Amino acid sequence: MKFLTEYRDEALAQKYLHKINEIVTQSWNIMEVCGGQTHSLVKNGIIDLLPDQVNMIHGPGCPVCVTPIHIIDKAIYLAEEKDVILCSFGDMLRVPGSKRSLLDAKADGADIRILYSPLEAVSLAQANPDKEVVFFAVGFETTAPANALSVIQAHQMKVENYSILTSHVLVPPAIAAVMNDEESKIDAFLAAGHVCTIMGISEYGPLVDAFKIPIVVTGFEPIDLLQGIFMVVTQLENGQVSLENQYSRVVRTDGNQKAVKMIEEVFEIQNRVWRGIGEIPLSGYEVRSKYQNYDANKRFDVNITSAEENSDCIAGQVLKGIKKPIECPQFGKKCKPEFPLGAPMVSSEGACAAYYHFHQASAVLEPAT
Amino acid sequence: MTNLNMRLSCPMPKLDFDRITLGHGGGGTLTNQLLENGVFKLFKNDLLDTHHDGAIIDIQGPLAFTTDSFVVSPIFFPGGDIGDLAVNGTVNDLAMCGAQPKYLSLSFILEEGLLMEEFWDILLSIKNASEQAGVQIVTGDTKVVEHGKGDKIYINTTGVGSIYENAQISMDRVKEGDAVIVSDAIATHGISIMSVREGLEFESDIQSDTRPGIHLDEKMIPIEEQVKGACEMLGLDPLYVANEGILISIVDTEQAEEIVENLRTHSFCSRAAIIGKVVSEHPRQVVIRSGIGGRRVVNMMVGQQLPRIC
């Protein structure tokens, strides 16, 4: 398949591994920000093919994982309202709230629909004028344009029974938060290619300067990741600190301005609480007051502002790269995809799920039957 | 609609109703009319024609016996419909036991309001598929549920077949060094259904239900380019997408090539391939060699596959 096969080429992968092996002289901790990259690294077996000195640390770039528990509780509450259809991307459904998940609520009869695009939710609202359709708008900068577009479209078409429940977070403040954490041991970052496709790369230069760390904007295919790692290790070994773009076939320096304009039209940047991490200043999008009729937080009077986390879950430390999933005492024991303690075990971008499902040394065998 | 050729020679009988009503499952005249003019006429055979409470069958020797329910939505999809699926699914299960499929039961749960024309098309599909597989439908049942309490039509089929004389298909016979063969490209069935579906549900087909380990090679697993593309786009792992009609067999390595060649002569198995082998290194684990030479585990799927955010 064009643009795919060539980025999964075994000979090329071996070549990059060889080159990384040749130049590396000491241990480096490299954080891949995005959970999609984590999954690609584990699923393709890259973390075990890299030399021991290259330690990949998995970052907070899993939108499902960092959505605060009280917002999930809120989504469940709304879904169980009589006249509400709650729409969500699929991998939000298994994430545990304080008591239940959306999947549990669905099984109990709540009208919850799995969609691929928020625009489908707008159509659903048009088709069901007697219902309130709420889209659970979760994600990083990558999904923000489509969510913004759904609000713009609903506004233009005068669809008045549509709203979004946002949990939108931003990558650059998260990188700063990771670097500001006293326990952080990160030497360099692979930035998330998809996010930069929308936003461009200009936000990352100041981070490189402020924290004196190399950042390489990187894609998601095995060859992308290996090339990104090679570029980062080259900088580290040469004592360089700069911003580079490995994913230049997709990411333009100024991103996708049309998409950015849509985001700016609908959203404004505000402080955000990240599940497991806490509040990060100016790290998320909220719906502007101009569009408050489409903001589920304003539209529905639901007073759920906090909820208890399971104290056995170390998701926060995993998300900040302080601990690896297998260092959690509950990994594969009390915490499994069937009964997760935290979101990273069930999200398709969660680091715990990646290790649980794909990593041979970490995979947990079910008892013999 | 499916079965155009079939319909030309087998037009829908006059059934007085355009849609299924609650009365069609009530056991009265409407049920009778549906059975007499539809089901009995279409599936006519000596055992069914007795109109008894059950079929009395005479088979010698060991039997395979299986049952399956079909709730697929949409009921018509590219390449088939719920009718042929209901026959082929149970026939396949019998074949996997090493049996020659012989007889099927056929039970419908119909939702009030189902178009009679759609029901007729499904009946024709069932007839077609059962004739192709050489099975007879010998008993059955029809129930109708209120509108909103079903999803157009659910079908259950139960099948019996007689075991081939030398068939010994059993996990106990799997030994180190055996080859793993897949009969055709994977994931096509699941993706073709999804391509016309709004909501999403999946069946799991990959299981690590073995004592020794299995080593697979990702590059060797046949998959259609467009199926691969759809999986990439939707964020699904093709190993976990439904594979109705595809079989995985574990065979002695010395016979593996010959078996693959034989399979490939069959029109449904043109992409049959050896995809891995049975190993002792990682007991009870299925490990796959990734396209770039890394390794990962293939675990049992938890619940259903859910499409991801980005």
Residue A364 confidence (pLDDT) = 55
- A254 to chain B, any CB pair closer than 8 A? The answer is no
A39 close to B (CB below 8 A): no
CA atoms within 13 A on the CB side of A187: 18
In this structure, what token pair is assigned to residue A210?
A: 């402020």
The CA–CA distances, whole Å, from A286 to A68, A116, A175, A265 equal 14, 21, 20, 11
Quick one: which H or E segment has residue A125? helix A118-127
How far is B233 from chain A, CA to nearest CA, in Å?
10
* pLDDT tier for residue B202 given thresholds of 50, 70 and 90: very low
Mean pLDDT for the stretch of residues A292-316: 91
Question: Please, are residues A357 and B297 in contact by the beta-carbon 8 Å criterion?
Answer: yes
Query: pLDDT averaged over chain B?
Result: 85
Q: Does the structure show a pLDDT above 70 at A161?
A: yes
Q: Do A365 and B285 touch (CB under 8 A)?
A: yes
Mean pLDDT score, B212-235? 88
* A positions 84-103 inside 8 Å of B (CB): 89-94, 103
How confident is the model over B107-130, as a mean pLDDT?
94
Mean pLDDT of B60-65: 93
Question: Dihedral (C-alpha) B242, B296, B281, A363: value to the nearest 10 degrees?
Answer: -90
Residues 6+ apart with CB under 8 A from B69: B154, B155, B156
Average pLDDT for residues A292-315, to the nearest whole number? Answer: 91
**3-state DSSP of B54-72:** CCCCCCCCCEEEEEEEECC
pLDDT number for residue B309: 61
Residue B196 has a pLDDT of: 67
| Pick from A30-39, A164-173, B291-300: least confident | B291-300
Q: Which of A23-27, A184-188, B138-142, B184-188 has the highest mean pLDDT?
A: A23-27
Given this model, what pLDDT does residue A270 score? 97
Specify which residues B273 forms β-bridges with: B182
Pair A2, A160: CB distance under 8 Å: no
- Among A10, A64, A194, the residue with its CB nearest the CB of B293 is A10
Average pLDDT over residues B120-124: 95
Q: Which of B225, B282, B296 sits opposite A45 (nearest CB)?
A: B296
pLDDT at A363: 63
> With contact defined as beta carbons under 8 Å apart, do B186 and B243 qualify?
yes
Angstroms from A281 CA to nearest CA on chain B: 24
A44 touches B at CB < 8 Å: yes
Residue B162 has pLDDT above 80, yes or no: yes
Q: What is the pLDDT of residues B247-266, one digit of tens each?
A: 899 999 999 999 999 999 99
Instruction: Kindly determine whether residue B306 and residue A365, on different chains, have CB atoms separated by under 8 Å.
Output: no
Question: Is the CB of residue A128 less than 8 Å from the CB of residue A87?
Answer: no
Judging contacts by C-beta atoms under 8 Å, the chain B residues touching residue A223 are 292
